[in-house]
Chains A and B, each alone.
Chain A
Amino acid sequence: GAVVSQHPSRVICKSGTSVKIECRSLDFQATTMFWYRQFPKQSLMLMATSNEGSKATYEQGVEKDKFLINHASLTLSTLTVTSAHPEDSSFYICSASIPSGGVAFFGQGTRLTVV
């Protein structure tokens, strides 16, 4: 299957700092990428839909000024958690869909710990 690479896999940051997470589609062009947040023992919660060359679409309740999404190219989307707080600690996962057919592949996830 297609490969989606997410980096870093783990990050620890101090409260008040910003953290950037990258999501790359390695062998296909993804016009749309998705960012999810997952709490322990729970399902994936869609945060936002990232569209190449345009503004991201955020789900209700997700602060767009806190979770900045940039989709500058057809193979790269970034999620920046700004002014991180301990409650932002979570597992963040990106996915990208093959344009024809809707099949989605997920990155490896990023474990963010804010101390």
Chain B
Amino acid sequence: GENVEQHPSTLSVQEGDSAVIKCTYSDSASNYFPWYKQELGKGPQLIIDIRSNVGEKKDQRIAVTLNKTAKHFSLHITETQPEDSAVYFCAAINYGQNFVFGPGTRLSVLP
């Protein structure tokens, strides 16, 4: 089955700097890769996603890149703000199968 690794487990950046979180997956059949942001005591919120036929996707300060050959994808947050502080989860899915989540990255944006 699919296995998703995520690094780093914790990340601290200064406000205004960029943050990068990386995930690797094992199942080459996976074709959908979402990223979720989870604030304390709340459910995960979808922030961006990418499908296997696309190499990069951007939405304002957030971007995701996918390298299918290497089986890894990354979340990039630019101009970080304190409200970006949260736990971020990546996931890899072969459509029709269950989501497999990474272990999460706790991002702290320091003012």
A positions within 8 Å CB-CB of B: 1, 4, 6, 34, 41-44, 46, 49, 91, 93, 95, 101-109, 111
Contacts and interface: CB of A to CB of B under 8 A. Distances in A.
Given A6-B43, A103-B34, A103-B49, A44 B101 contact: yes
B12 interface: no
B41 A43 contact: no
Contacts, number: 49
Q: Which 4 A-B pairs have the closest CB atoms?
A: A106-B43, A109-B43, A106-B44, A102-B95
Nearest to B99: A104
A40 B49 CA distance: 25
B75 interface: no
A102 B93 contact: yes
Taking each of A4, A104, A106, which has the highest tally of chain B beta carbons within 10 Å of its own beta carbon? A104
A43 B45 contact: no
Contacts of B60: none
A46 B95 CA distance: 16
B46 A105 contact: yes
A66 to B, nearest CB: 21
